[in-house]
Structure 1
Amino acid sequence: MNRVEMEHFARLWIGHWNARDIDAVLDTYVDEARFISPLAAQVTGSPVIEGKAALRRYWTRALEQTESLHFALIDAICDLERQTLVVQYRAERNGQVSRAAEAMRFKGRWQVEGEALYGAPL
């Protein structure tokens, strides 16, 4: 992907989460994707999620525990050579607000890896 495509992806990604559209979020993942998140550890017992089907189960369970969710894009940081996008955003979940970032690695248009990083509550 080029910079324009990565920045566009970041805006779409924010919109998909705000709509709670797990199918749209998962649409760009490869079946064997790997995802790391401290929230995954709270929800599933492991911070590492392997595979698209496991991601669906994790995010479905996490959204069941989420009354309110809203993300606001702060920045999209693009490493074109490594095909890595870092989406920096303001995350509101169940009344708690924090800054967050998600690092996403791509092969072509397909996301192969992701890692969610959460800052201190604001």
Structure 2
Amino acid sequence: MATLSRDQLQAHALAWIDDWNRHDVPAVLAAYTDDAVFVSALAESYAGGTRVEGKDALRRYWLAAIADRPDLRFSLISAICDVDAQTVVVHYVAQTGGRRARMCEIMRFENGRQVYGEALHGVPAEETAT
């Protein structure tokens, strides 16, 4: 059983930000298991529900969402790594359409692969303290 170190979890968070900023959905998906689950309120309009199951469904969702947001950019605020839980929480600012919002993504790993993700969408970044 592969256990990711703190450095590996941190490196994943940094690569994840970079992959999204290049709009490289295959690179984002590379860390996921085929049966991974992803939860996001934004998935409702693209996937028909807030829970997306499986890598193929994730691919369809994210490609459609990026097509609607060609200027999407993420800026990392912090990555909180819990080695024992094999979880990293990526805290970032998402920019698109002239708007900025603080967000968090919870990522859980088993055997070195991501099995679960959950996006938590915040208020506009201008309304929060830095």
**Fold conserved (TM > 0.5)?**
yes
What secondary structure is seen at the aligned counterpart in 2 of 1:14? helix
Q: Hey, what does 1:69 align to over in structure 2?
A: 72
Q: Hey, what does 1:84 align to over in structure 2?
A: 87
Query: Could you report, residue by residue, the CA deviation over 1:44-97 in whole angstroms, capped at 9, with x for unpaired residues?
Result: 220000000000000011111113111011111011111011000011022210
Equivalent-residue separation in structure 2 for 1:67 and 1:82 (angstroms)? 34
Query: Deviating runs (4+, > 4 A) in structure 1?
Result: none
5+ residue gaps in structure 2?
126-130
1:3 equivalent in alignment to 2:6: yes
Pairing 1:105-120 to 2, within 5 Å after superposition: 105-120=108-123
Quick one: which of 17, 26, 29 aligns to 1:26? 29
Number of residues of Structure 1 aligned to a counterpart in Structure 2: 122
Q: Hey, what does 2:17 align to over in structure 1?
A: 14
5+ residue gaps in structure 1?
none
Equivalent-residue separation in structure 1 for 2:57 and 2:24 (angstroms)? 16
Query: Could you report, residue by residue, the CA deviation over 1:7-40 in whole angstroms, capped at 9, with x for unpaired residues?
Result: 1111100000000000000001000000000110
When Rg is computed on C-alpha atoms for both structures, the one with the higher figure is 2
Equivalent-residue separation in structure 2 for 1:104 and 1:90 (angstroms)? 17
Let me know the Cα RMSD of the aligned residues: 0.9
Equivalent-residue separation in structure 1 for 2:22 and 2:57 (angstroms)? 21
Q: CA offset at residue 42 of structure 1?
A: 2.5
Amino acid at match of 1:59: W
Amino acid at match of 2:89: V
Q: Give me the TM-score of the superposition, normalised by structure 2.
A: 0.91
What secondary structure is seen at the aligned counterpart in 1 of 2:56? helix
Q: Give me the TM-score of the superposition, normalised by structure 1.
A: 0.96
